[in-house]
Structure 1
């Protein structure tokens, strides 16, 4: 089983932003050493002095630089608050440097901070318009030459592009733009119906259209701890109830992870470890490592 890690950088309530940032670096290194497939960083813009970051893009090459094998990326870039040319240029350069270990995950979201959104997207340009430009910058190199545009390195390695979604509508967008597909079931309003017929048809249509197989990931959220008292406390504090978060001990996940893989028929699982102190986060990471490579 291939499992990746999705990191929000929130950490414990008692930690300031610099401590949280340092802990994330340790967390990424541990994920790399344990054999996890990916380490992705979420983007969020909120009015808080305790955030480790808002925009994670600049952290991607830093983490890729001190890890050795894990794929590092974003889950995902809020493209409506970024310039598509800048994003394409950075991720293409980094992927060429780090031997295809960079992922570019994209999300159709705005910003919790309305002032941030106003400053970065004054024209209120749509996500799909910016996505079209970004994909063109990365995949249509010869067409760009005709416009006297080169995004270095020329003939460099283009990162895998992932479209993030909370519903089956993501099929349409991934098919249209040739993106790999990530489906989250941990967001509060996520669509939980696995829709196996729709997924199968999407995979067939994608291969017929783009002449390659689409890669798929199921994003889930949870905690795996040994201490039953800690588990009881964590369940009480879960943000949206257990329908969206999976909380239990290792025996629970021995049943749950194969069940999710079978139910949703995705290639990989992307696991977001919920807001905990560093010790508990590392415990979850080490526990779930049992499933890697099975």
Structure 2
């Protein structure tokens, strides 16, 4: 199977760095993987989260597309229940006009932060997630030049190309919706380690060709930690292990700790079990081991594209990780 590699980035704050550094590192990473031959570079949307700086991925899309040449740039994803489909369509119509043929519109329905985020983004109201399929349908209609809500308006600027829509999911619940509406689908294994290939199969089985896509396109996103040896990979993975555990415990996470700090932590039995469970969201090892694990993941889920999220310290090690993968997969 010929596997295409893409990148999912969350603009993480690494120990010793600030928010401005995290955003600058996102841009530097995008330029790096563009040169390496990765297919896509997507950025997530997180709110009121100290350790992740990417709260407005559509702005980052514009900044990164301006500084790269070949890689497709998009969101992973815009949290649609918080926003007007019409406004999202216009935002991405502008981006497509600026960088035709290089923009992806990834969307999701998760809150993207603590419970208060839902109310802060919706003027004190809780968003109606049950209308998400309708929102997606309206978004697609606006993108292709229709006026689905009867207001007799167009999402401008109009153009010859349309940014494709990809639906992100971590439970499989939106897989059928993505198929029925003819969008792409990405399963977030890095969020849900219990992910099952049935979600992708449901997407394939329900897919109906649309103006967006004539054929189904599915991918899987996963954390990856690469070391020169298995032992070194475990050392670097200790940072992500601790960060994910802290989040699950409801503690405030100000940054991703360095492996020097994280590897010194002592855990009780329950914490060790939680860390081991979180490893289902990650692939860890030397580059050949990680390559084999990614190939197995692609075969299991029956996809030919993997989105890799490498959060390790220092930042230079993140760049090296993507370089090693690019060489291993002959990008």
SS of aligned partner of 1:271: strand
Unaligned runs of 5+ in 1: none
Q: 2:175, 2:318 → 1: CA distance?
A: 32
Q: 1:209, 1:185 → 2: CA distance?
A: 26
In the superposition, the TM-score normalised over structure 2's length comes to: 0.79
Q: 1:53, 1:98 → 2: CA distance?
A: 21
In the alignment, is the contact (CA less than 8 A) between 1:40 and 1:73 conserved in 2? yes
In the TM superposition, structure 1's runs of 4+ consecutive aligned residues that sit over 6 Å from their partners are 208-211
Deviations 1:32-86 (A, max 9, x none): 00000000001111252x5433222111011001100000001111122223222
Q: What is the aligned partner in structure 2 of residue 245 from structure 1?
A: 282
In the alignment, is the contact (CA less than 8 A) between 2:93 and 2:158 conserved in 1? no
Q: How does 1:197-236 map to 2 (within 5 A)?
A: 199-200=200-201, 202-207=203-208, 212-226=214-228, 228-236=230-238
In the alignment, is the contact (CA less than 8 A) between 1:93 and 1:156 conserved in 2? no
In the alignment, is the contact (CA less than 8 A) between 1:92 and 1:156 conserved in 2? no
Q: 2:42, 2:31 → 1: CA distance?
A: 13
In the alignment, is the contact (CA less than 8 A) between 2:184 and 2:217 conserved in 1? yes
After superposition, the Cα gap between the structure-2 partners of 1:155 and 1:235, relative to the gap in structure 1 and judged at 3 Å, is closer
2:311 paired with 1:274: yes
Q: 1:145, 1:75 → 2: CA distance?
A: 26
Q: 1:63, 1:283 → 2: CA distance?
A: 20
After superposition, the Cα gap between the structure-2 partners of 1:285 and 1:132, relative to the gap in structure 1 and judged at 3 Å, is same
Q: 1:146, 1:236 → 2: CA distance?
A: 53
Q: 2:45, 2:8 → 1: CA distance?
A: 11
With 122-131 and 31-40 compared, the bigger mean Cα shift is at 122-131
Unaligned runs of 5+ in 2: 245-274
The CA deviation at 1:154 is 2.3
The CA deviation at 1:111 is 3.6
Q: What is the aligned partner in structure 2 of residue 54 from structure 1?
A: 55
The CA deviation at 1:102 is 0.6
Q: What is the aligned partner in structure 2 of residue 109 from structure 1?
A: 110
Q: 1:134 aligns with which of 129, 136, 139?
A: 139
Report the count of equivalent residues: 289
Q: 1:293, 1:250 → 2: CA distance?
A: 13
After superposition, the Cα gap between the structure-2 partners of 1:115 and 1:146, relative to the gap in structure 1 and judged at 3 Å, is closer
2:184 paired with 1:183: no
Q: 1:154, 1:45 → 2: CA distance?
A: 31
Q: 2:288, 2:53 → 1: CA distance?
A: 32
C-alpha root-mean-square deviation of aligned residues, in Å?
2.4
Q: 1:161 aligns with which of 159, 165, 178?
A: 165
After superposition, the Cα gap between the structure-2 partners of 1:124 and 1:255, relative to the gap in structure 1 and judged at 3 Å, is same
The CA deviation at 1:220 is 1.1
In the superposition, the TM-score normalised over structure 1's length comes to: 0.88
Q: How does 1:5-44 map to 2 (within 5 A)?
A: 5-44=7-46
SS of aligned partner of 1:136: helix
Q: What is the aligned partner in structure 2 of residue 78 from structure 1?
A: 79
The CA deviation at 1:144 is 5.8
